[in-house]
Amino acid sequence: MYKKTTLSNGLRVITIPMENANSVTALILVGTGSKYETKDINGISHFLEHMFFKGTQKRPNTLKISETLDSVGGEYNAFTSKEITGFWAKVDKLHSDIALDWICDIFLNSKFDEKEMEREKGVIVEEVNMYLDTPMAYVGELFEKLLYGDTPAGWRVIGEKENILGFNRKKVLDYYNAHYSPSNIIVCVSGAVNSDKMEEKIKNYFKNSKDSKTGQKIKVKESQLKPEVLLHHKKTDQTHFCLGVRAYDLFDKRKYALALLSIILGGNMSSRLFIKVRERNGLAYSIHTSADSSTDTGYLVTQAGIDHKNLEKSVKLILQEYKSMKDKKITQKELQKAKDYLKGITSLSLDSSDSQASFYAVQELLEKNILTPEEKFKKIDEVSVDDIQKIAEDIFLPEKLNLAIIGPFEEKENERLRQLLKI
């Protein structure tokens, strides 16, 4: 279903032809993000991502860049995470050459103009403010800060305002040169494509790119001896919180069972916590459990927004369900439902060319190994009821519990809330 080729300069090219597709997605991933930063340049991965949209020789300004794909009804954007920076364009199959030329142009030929950098600082500072004013998003960042502290894994991807305002062209180019090397880059094109022809076009765009050594990240070292709480005081209409535990990284075989466990707990509208917290007790409109795994970290977390007075009750209800997962085996029927749900949503997402590109390219970048959907489904099917209980017994321990909160609470309440974390 897919073809992967490594060029002589180390660039990896993945093509994914999709029968009867009407779209083409071009995706470029770079193996860098905030985990690769130092404290003084935290936020520079994200800042650099923004600068690719400011002008090339061929498309000298933001307007020329944006109207290229706007004029054919294309979709495009970029993103930065802890370990990945990505750029993508999705167009009607008739315009695939336009999309490829556009994304290769901004990726290879951006000018990184100093004046544009100064102007963009204001944009990103407002983006910081937007997230700070969005508790539903910010509480997830606080949860990771609680887990990993003052280390790259615990820092915000977007960085802090002081750093952003201090960036200059030299810092940005130094970071670019340290990480944007062909062997650290994947170009993936999916949809209505001919693999051989597309591969040849990509090879031509990157023919002058020379490989070099790339910067490495510091491996995360996790240490926790007791339950922990992080309070962020803010006058809000709701209390937002994340309650979760340390778990497994991408290379741990237990990640499939962990994903199923998170679905059973709070992955959909028939999950245990959705029924218990929302439907039976009316405490939350939104409650969700998810599992997150990266190359050297992993966790399971439940997030909800509730009335301030219901924080204690909500936390206790969630902990009850955490505890029940290790005290009593789930039924085979409940496990099968979770398996069918996970395989179903995966299959549905892979109908689109952009999801196909992400599915294959992210695996290659982070794990250097690609499993097809069918191969992943086989691993999901191998998970047993006993596997779920063993994981629950391993992760649902007092010394792995963490609670991050945004709401009108004072720091003096920290210890009282920490006493709730019993399981």
Q: How many Å apart are CA 74 and CA 67, to the nearest integer?
A: 10
Residues 200 and 270 both lie in one domain: no
**Annotation says 49 is catalytic:** yes
Pick the last residue of a domain from 205, 239, 269.
Answer: 205
- Write down the H helix ranges in 40-156: 44-51, 62-70, 96-109, 114-132, 135-148
Residues 257 and 363 both lie in one domain: yes
Residues 191 and 237 both lie in one domain: no
Pick the last residue of a domain from 142, 172, 205.
Answer: 205
A 10 A CB-CB count for 87 gives 22
* Beta carbons of 28 and 186 less than 8 angstroms apart: yes
| Phi, psi (deg, nearest 5) at residue 377 | -60, -35
Looking only at the bridges linking them, the beta strands covering 228-233 and 401-407 are parallel
Residues 147-183: tens digit of each pLDDT? 999 999 999 999 999 999 999 999 999 999 999 999 9
Is the model's pLDDT at 367 over the cut of 90? yes
* Beta carbons of 361 and 414 less than 8 angstroms apart: no
Residues 28 and 151 both lie in one domain: yes
Q: Is residue 259 part of a domain?
A: yes
Q: What pLDDT, on the 0 to 100 scale, is given for residue 22? A: 97
Residues 386-398: tens digit of each pLDDT? 999 999 999 999 9
Mean pLDDT of 220-238: 95
Pick the last residue of a domain from 205, 237, 269.
Answer: 205
HSE-up of 97 (CA within 13 Å, CB side)? 5
Residues 200 and 261 both lie in one domain: no
Looking only at the bridges linking them, the beta strands covering 23-30 and 185-191 are antiparallel
Q: What pLDDT, on the 0 to 100 scale, is given for residue 357? A: 98
- Look at the chain and report how many structural domains it folds into: 2
* Beta carbons of 418 and 228 less than 8 angstroms apart: yes
Q: Is residue 210 part of a domain?
A: no
Residues 232 and 200 both lie in one domain: no
**The domain containing residue 14 runs over which residues?**
3-205
Which of 37, 49, 141, 199 is the catalytic position? 49
Q: Is residue 215 part of a domain?
A: no
Read off the CATH number of the domain in which 322 is found: 3.30.830.10
Is the model's pLDDT at 99 over the cut of 90? yes
Q: Is residue 216 part of a domain?
A: no
Q: Is residue 29 part of a domain?
A: yes
Q: Is residue 223 part of a domain?
A: no
Arithmetic mean of pLDDT over the chain: 97
Predicted confidence band at 101 (pLDDT cuts at 50, 70, 90)?
A: very high
Residues 319 and 184 both lie in one domain: no
Residues 242 and 195 both lie in one domain: no
Residues 64 and 146 both lie in one domain: yes
Residues 153 and 249 both lie in one domain: no
Residues 184 and 254 both lie in one domain: no
Mean pLDDT of 209-221: 92
Q: How many Å apart are CA 44 and CA 163, to the nearest integer?
A: 8
Is the model's pLDDT at 221 over the cut of 90? no
Mean pLDDT of 8-19: 97
Partners of residue 301 on adjacent β-strands: 244, 290
Predicted confidence band at 230 (pLDDT cuts at 50, 70, 90)?
A: very high
Residues 182 and 254 both lie in one domain: no
Q: Is residue 284 part of a domain?
A: yes
Residues 303-327: tens digit of each pLDDT? 999 999 999 999 999 999 999 999 9
E runs forming strands in 18-74: 23-30
Predicted confidence band at 1 (pLDDT cuts at 50, 70, 90)?
A: confident
Q: Is residue 220 part of a domain?
A: no
